[in-house]
Amino acid sequence: MLTNFQSIDPTKPSLKYIDLRVNSPHYRGEVSSQHNRYTLDEIVEICKILNRYAPPGSLMKVRNVDLSKRPTTPADEEVYAHFINEVKTTIGKGTQDSVRKNYFPDFARGTLIKRYDSDKKLLDPWEGSGGRYVELTEFGKKFVNADIESRQISFTKYIDTLLGGYVSILNSILLHDNFKDFGKDKIFFEEFQFFISALNAPHPDFKINQLSDCINLMRDFRKLPMAQRKGLKIMMSEQLKPENFTGDKTMKRDLHNWNNKIQQMFYLMNQTPYFEVATNNQFIAFKTSIREDDFDTEKNRKRNLREKIEYRKKHTQNLKVAGFELDHLIPFSWAQTIEQNHLIDNHKNMLYIDGYSHGIKTQNRSKHHILEPINELDFLLKSSNKEDDAIFLKFDKNVIYNPQYRDEILEYNKELCEII
């Protein structure tokens, strides 16, 4: 045995299972996204560009040697170099190496692209290397061309496929009657790391086959006194370091890398309409009720603090201005689905407007939601009722925003108005 965490309390099945898992050479579970921090918008932009360079049925040859080893670009890789330059210009990041080694494997596992070897034979999506050609899939093309609500649904499907079905698994656990008895509507980081990520795992040495078995282990783990949970955390952080083990990689354990993997999974699931992750990654929980027939915007008006922070970061340099209100152009009460609720609670659907204008909008029951530019800086906020007077929003007097993102706000408002 490499570890003996069960010594904390030999009567606990959950600790016995953690020992069983950590002593497996496959303890970290299935291969999944680990190195990438990207958003829905960034994926959309990359796929839009790829649709021009390698649409379905057309292959683009990619670099297969690191830039550090071969700085030059051969003639048959120039198209890929142009593609990367356009990606970097558009989203502000991405190199010939990072896109092919990090982004493309994720995109293939999520079925946005297909990768081929040097003989143009289709690669298994879970092959980490060897891709020489790529093309956008039909699903990827539909993703690019979809309206924003359908795109959000497709993005959730992409995340679920990429992560091996754990979006669906989390839904099932949070709604399970046996979990509701003790779960308090949240799943803690360690519970996901130790138990949930073992559901449907391909490795029989620690695989958990039944949802009920997983929930029972979680229940048992939660019964541990806080002092013992902290003790386990300290023991794991001290013991599970590569330098503490001899032999090859299968004999070594690395808690830091394992944590990074789960953090990445939480990061991606946080971008779906369903889940919200605590700032410190302590737990993951539902944003709203996910039962369509139970969806009630009156009950689900919990604003996403991160979206407010993102607006202030982009538009006000994190400053609050006296007399101004951060307003959702299209209000929460108009959402009919979980996806629409998620799209409305987005910083691109927000404007920092003065209290007087905000009061007019509120008195008119938020019918003023259609944003139109009247010059390079000022807006008219129009009502769906053509008889209502428009609200004039003069830059820096009635509305505060960063003009760099003006087109982004207008485009998002137009798309949102079309579907809600």
Q: Is residue 126 part of a domain?
A: yes
Report whether pLDDT(37) > 80: yes
Position 1 scores a pLDDT of 61
Hey, what are 122's tokens? Answer: 């289709």
Q: Indicate if the pLDDT at residue 212 is higher than 50.
A: yes
H/E element, 147: none
Same domain, 219 and 180: yes
Is the domain of 253 the same as that of 282? Answer: yes
Which of 88, 91, 96 is CA-nearest to residue 40? 91
Assess whether 52 and 120 both reside in one domain.
Answer: yes
Task: Enter the tokens of residue 257.
Answer: 């890398």
Q: Which of 19-33, 207-221, 223-237 has the lowest mean pLDDT?
A: 19-33
Does residue 261 lie within any of the structural domains?
A: yes
pLDDT for position 302: 52
Domain that holds residue 398: 305-419
Tokens found for residue 349 = 């659907």
Domain check: are 186 and 257 in the same one?
A: yes
pLDDT in tens, 238-250: 999 999 998 888 8
Shared-domain flag, residues 106 and 250? no
For residue 295, being part of any structural domain is answered with no
Max CA pair span of the chain: 77
Q: Which of 140, 131, 133 is nearest to 58 (CA)?
A: 133
In a shared domain, residues 246 and 281: yes
Strands 283-286 and 275-277: antiparallel
Among candidate residues 144, 173, 196, the one where a domain is terminated: 144
Query: Are residue 198 and residue 88 in the same domain, yes or no?
Result: no
First CA to last CA across the chain, in angstroms? 58
Domain count, the chain: 3
DSSP structure string for 145-156:
HS-HHHHHHHHH
DSSP-based three-state secondary structure for 180 = helix
Strand order in the sheet with 113-116: 60-61, 133-136, 113-116
Strand partners, 166: none
Tell whether 310 is covered by a domain: yes
Q: What CA dihedral angle connects 252, 258, 261 and 262, to 10 degrees?
A: 160
Listed as own residue / partner, the contacts of 167-173 with beta carbons closer than 8 Å and 24 or more positions apart are 167/269, 167/272, 167/274, 167/275, 169/196, 169/199, 169/200, 169/211, 170/196, 170/269, 170/274, 170/275, 170/284, 171/274, 171/290, 172/211, 173/211, 173/214, 173/215
> 168: pLDDT confidence band, cut at 50, 70 and 90?
confident
Q: Are 338 and 275 in contact (CB under 8 A)?
A: no
| Domain membership flag for residue 157 | no
Question: Residues 284-325: pLDDT tens digits?
Answer: 998 864 444 444 544 444 556 778 889 999 999 888 888 898
pLDDT in tens, 378-398: 999 998 878 789 999 999 999
Instruction: Tell me, yes or no, whether 128 and 89 share the same domain.
Output: yes
pLDDT score for 128:
66
In a domain, 271, yes or no: yes
Q: What is the pLDDT of residue 297?
A: 45
Q: What is the pLDDT of residues 271-282, one digit of tens each?
A: 888 898 988 899
The residue with greater pLDDT, 29 or 292, is 29
Model confidence at 114: pLDDT above 70: yes
Give the pLDDT score at 367: 83
Q: Domain check: are 195 and 269 in the same one?
A: yes
- The CATH number covering residue 120 comes to 1.10.10
Mean pLDDT across the chain: 89
- Note whether 409 and 314 are same-domain residues: yes
Which domain-ending residue is among 87, 115, 144? 144
pLDDT for position 300: 47
Is 294 part of a structural domain of the chain? no
pLDDT tens per residue across span 38-76: 899 999 999 999 999 999 999 999 999 999 999 999 999
Both 122 and 270 in a single domain? no
Contact 161, 111 (CB under 8 A): yes
129/46: higher pLDDT: 46
pLDDT for position 126? 83
Residues 268 and 248 in one domain: yes
β 113-116/350-354 pair status:
unpaired
Joined tokens for residue 57: 């049925």
Judge whether 35 lies within some domain: no
